């Protein structure tokens, strides 16, 4: 009788009506999960919108006066946003998006981030590591068998300890069609074919160069199976709420679709994009001051990477310069022992930028310019207003002691 009852239960469980009920429950569960995800995303969007609310009449007047002087005396032309503990203290635009057309900058204007792209690329790469899809000890030739240099790891690329030479220094002689933008894969093929001499053996010393992050972007494409622009949108820009951020390459676009033109030190001389604006990861990400502020908040709230991953990214991985300046995974670091700051500079084809995150005081500074002059070297007064250390190597002795002007 027991066996017969069991068989009856089994037969009943396999009846079409039961299958429909189970299927409906699964669908309802998935729908509920999707609804929860959408609600969470909507709440985050509302939170992001509130964070970007700014009343110019309540601007910090000391910062306003400083920025006006930086614009009039030092030729600052660009956008600025300064925030503390998630609240914007000051934001503004100064000058032209395109001098010849007399187009004014907007707070949502997209700038070529140049090397400020590197922290974002590192974030995308470290997400793959957190997901177990790569290991930092893996070597480049595991992903690209034709890569001609052995023993170079992802970790060394992230921390600029690969010893590779800068691709910008040899591709101008090797790329056959200067009217066509190179892709990252094109540069990987040039490396395999011509084997340019390395600067040093792997892991001997810190040597900053763009090849490292161009290769990291190529690895992201290889592992994810997605174009770098698509991967970054889905895994970094989108989750961080960065609606005005994108990857633009001259290997894809005949003309980069942004209205902000890079200018050399002399006005009227715009910098023309060329075939070297094709490779991305080391540069090629275009963004706004507000989006970089949102990126900062997403990192602070651990919505992109875990705390322990960020700790590794913010740790110096080489011998410190002047005892206090170092480089982590995608971040330059300033650490005098009682004050932790991570930041990055950028300079490329008429754009010059500075992105600073004071981790101790939770201060965010974004300065994006499209006039490549020395205005960003004159920020000591801004740091004093914000009651934070001066982030400028020339301000310190070889022993790391601050030297007043």
Confirm if 71 and 77 have CB atoms less than 8 A apart: yes
Q: Tokens 């590779």, residue?
A: 164
Quote the tokens at residue 166: 């800068």
> What's the angle, vertex CA 239, arms to CA 93 and CA 386, rounded to 5?
40
CA end-to-end distance (rounded Å), the chain: 97
What's the Cα-to-Cα distance from 332 to each of 243, 337, 374, rounded to whole Å? 25, 15, 20
- HSE (CB half, 13 Å, CA atoms) of 195? 5
115 is catalytic: yes
Sequence-separated contacts (24+) of 232-239 with Cβ below 8 Å: 232/120, 232/121, 232/124, 232/285, 235/124, 235/127, 236/120, 236/123, 236/124, 236/127, 236/295, 236/304, 237/291, 239/298, 239/303, 239/304
Given 109, 115, 159, 249, the catalytic residue: 115
List CB contacts of 53: < 8 A, sequence separation 6 or more: 88
Q: What are the beta bridge partners of residue 352? A: 347, 369
Burial 269-307 (b: 16+ CB within 10 A, else e): ebbebbbbbbbbbbbbbbbbbbbbbbbbbbbbeeebbee
The answer to whether the CB of 300 falls within 8 A of the CB of 361 is no
Cα distance between residue 147 and residue 296, in whole Å: 35
Residue 114: partners with Cβ closer than 8 Å, 6 or more residues away: 283, 346, 347, 348, 349, 351, 352, 353
Phi-psi region of 39 (alpha: psi -120 to 50; beta: other; left: phi over 0): alpha
Spatial distance between the Cα atoms of 316 and 77, rounded to a whole number of angstroms? 32
Cα radius of gyration (the chain): 25
Active-site residues: which are they? 115
């Amino acid at each position: 009788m027991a066996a017969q009852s069991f068989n009856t239960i089994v037969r009943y469980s396999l009846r079409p009506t039961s299958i429909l009920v189970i299927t409906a429950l699964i669908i309802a569960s998935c729908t509920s999960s999707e609804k929860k995800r959408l609600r969470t995303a909507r709440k985050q969007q509302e939170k992001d919108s509130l964070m970007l609310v700014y009343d110019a009449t309540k601007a910090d007047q000391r910062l306003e006066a400083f920025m006006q002087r930086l614009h009039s005396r030092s030729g600052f032309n660009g956008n600025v946003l300064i925030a503390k503990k998630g609240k914007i203290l000051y934001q503004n635009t100064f000058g032209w998006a395109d001098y010849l057309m007399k187009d004014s900058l907007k707070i949502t204007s997209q700038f070529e981030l140049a090397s400020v792209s590197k922290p974002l690329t590192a974030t995308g790469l470290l997400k793959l590591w957190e997901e177990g899809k790569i290991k930092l000890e893996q070597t480049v030739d595991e992903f690209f068998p034709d890569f001609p240099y052995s023993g170079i790891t992802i970790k060394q690329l992230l921390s600029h300890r690969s010893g590779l030479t800068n691709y910008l220094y040899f591709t101008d002689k090797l790329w056959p069609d200067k009217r066509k933008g190179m892709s990252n894969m094109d540069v990987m093929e040039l490396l395999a074919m011509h084997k340019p001499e390395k600067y040093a053996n792997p892991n001997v010393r810190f040597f900053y160069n763009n090849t490292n992050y161009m290769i990291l972007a190529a690895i992201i494409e290889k592992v994810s199976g997605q174009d770098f622009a698509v991967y970054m949108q889905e895994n970094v820009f989108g989750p961080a709420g960065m609606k005005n951020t994108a990857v633009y390459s001259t290997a894809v676009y005949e003309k980069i679709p942004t209205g902000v033109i890079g200018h050399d030190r002399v006005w009227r001389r715009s910098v023309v994009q060329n075939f070297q604006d094709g490779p991305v990861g080391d540069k090629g990400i275009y963004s706004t001051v507000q989006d970089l502020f949102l990126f900062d908040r997403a990192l602070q709230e651990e919505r992109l990477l875990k705390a322990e991953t960020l700790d590794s990214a913010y740790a110096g991985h080489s011998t410190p310069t002047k005892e206090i300046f170092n480089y982590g995974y995608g971040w330059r670091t300033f650490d005098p022992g009682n004050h932790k700051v991570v930041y990055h500079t950028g300079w490329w084809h008429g754009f010059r930028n500075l992105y600073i995150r004071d981790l101790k005081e939770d201060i965010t500074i974004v300065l994006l310019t499209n006039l490549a002059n020395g205005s960003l070297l004159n920020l000591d007064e801004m740091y004093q207003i914000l009651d934070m250390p001066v982030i400028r190597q020339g301000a310190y002795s070889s022993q790391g002691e601050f030297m007043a002007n």
